[in-house]
Amino acid sequence: MEEQQVEPAPAAVKARRNAFDRDAVAEHSKALKMKDVTFQNDIRFLTGLGEFDRVLGGGLVQGSVVLISGEPGIGKSTLLLQICQNVGKNAKLLYVTGEESLEQIKLRAVRVGVDTENLLLLSETSVNKIIPEINAVQPDVVIIDSIQTLFDENYPSSPGTITQVKQATLQLIAKAKEDRISILIVGHVNKDGAIAGPKVLEHMVDAVLYFEGEKQNTYRVIRAVKNRYGSTNEIGMFAMSAEGLEEIEKPSE
């Protein structure tokens, strides 16, 4: 076999290599020394439901994205509306509904005793219209009810498909991290698989909570199956009533 001759690098190439300067390279990502990375202590909003705060690891972390999954009718909208009362004392909230009218939300709010001035309601399913409204309103906390109703106008598929559910979530996550907004996303658990389930989002978000219970009885349990800001050993217990979810304190051991 004939040996291949390697040409020596021309002088111009050598000069370029020597002059290699990290700053001169266009658009590259720069690594930081770990010791130069700064962080603020997590700012957390207390939701007023101690059971929920405990499962979150001590309240809702500013800038975090939390997915709340549960079967239809289990009480997801009720839970998220109820936390608005306490969070609204120190923060501005935007509740985006894609499946209920504003009147329905208001009726539920009246029933469960939510009347904070700091809660704004938006009925919208296009994520391309929701993001500009988030920019205009500048809320601290956004509630998305539910992710399966949202769609991105740049993709032709219907709401609820894997593409749409993922694209909408990606945009919301980017917004949360950019502006340090906490976003709570409702995901319907669907057994027949026709609609993209919240499972496909679990790796993308910061925390995943399952809200469960038997519809026949009033008890509801919330537990974290993933949490970048706390443990996944806690569970929260509630009872559903006409006035909404009431916390059940754990019996003392």
Ligand X SMILES: Nc1ncnc2c1ncn2[C@@H]1O[C@H](COP(=O)(O)OP(=O)(O)OP(=O)(O)O)[C@@H](O)[C@H]1O
Residues that bind ligand X (CB under 6 A): 70, 72-78, 188, 240-242
CB-wise, 61 or 240, nearer to ligand X? 240
Q: Which does 220 bind (CB under 5 to 8 A by kind): Mg ion, ligand X, none?
A: none
- Minimum distance of ligand X from residue 188's CB (angstroms): 6
Task: Please tell me whether residue 54 adopts helix, strand or coil conformation.
Answer: helix
CB-wise, 70 or 230, nearer to ligand X? 70
CB-wise, 54 or 188, nearer to ligand X? 188
Query: In sequence order, what are the residues at sequence separation of 6 or more whose Cβ sits closer than 8 angstroms to the Cβ of residue 61?
Result: 42, 43, 44, 182, 206, 229
Q: How far apart are CA 84 and CA 212, in angstroms?
A: 21
Show the tokens assigned to 182. Answer: 């906490």
CA distances for 218 relative to 41, 132, 214, 244, angstroms:
37, 39, 7, 11
Q: Which does 196 bind (CB under 5 to 8 A by kind): ligand X, Mg ion, none?
A: none
Q: Supply φ then ψ for residue 109, to 5 degrees.
A: -60, -45
- Minimum distance of Mg ion from residue 201's CB (angstroms): 17
Cα dihedral 105→108→112→115 (10° resolution): 40
CB-wise, 61 or 79, nearer to ligand X? 79
CB-wise, 61 or 93, nearer to ligand X? 93
- Minimum distance of ligand X from residue 78's CB (angstroms): 3
Contact flag: residue 148 with Mg ion (CB under 5 A): no
- Minimum distance of ligand X from residue 103's CB (angstroms): 14
Q: Supply φ then ψ for residue 135, to 5 degrees.
A: -60, -40
- Minimum distance of Mg ion from residue 73's CB (angstroms): 8
Show the tokens assigned to 141. Answer: 């906390």
Q: Which does 172 bind (CB under 5 to 8 A by kind): ligand X, Mg ion, none?
A: none
Tell me the residue length of the chain. Answer: 253
**Which of the residues 69 through 108 are near Mg ion (CB under 5 A)?**
77
Contacts with Mg ion by CB under 5 A lie at: 77
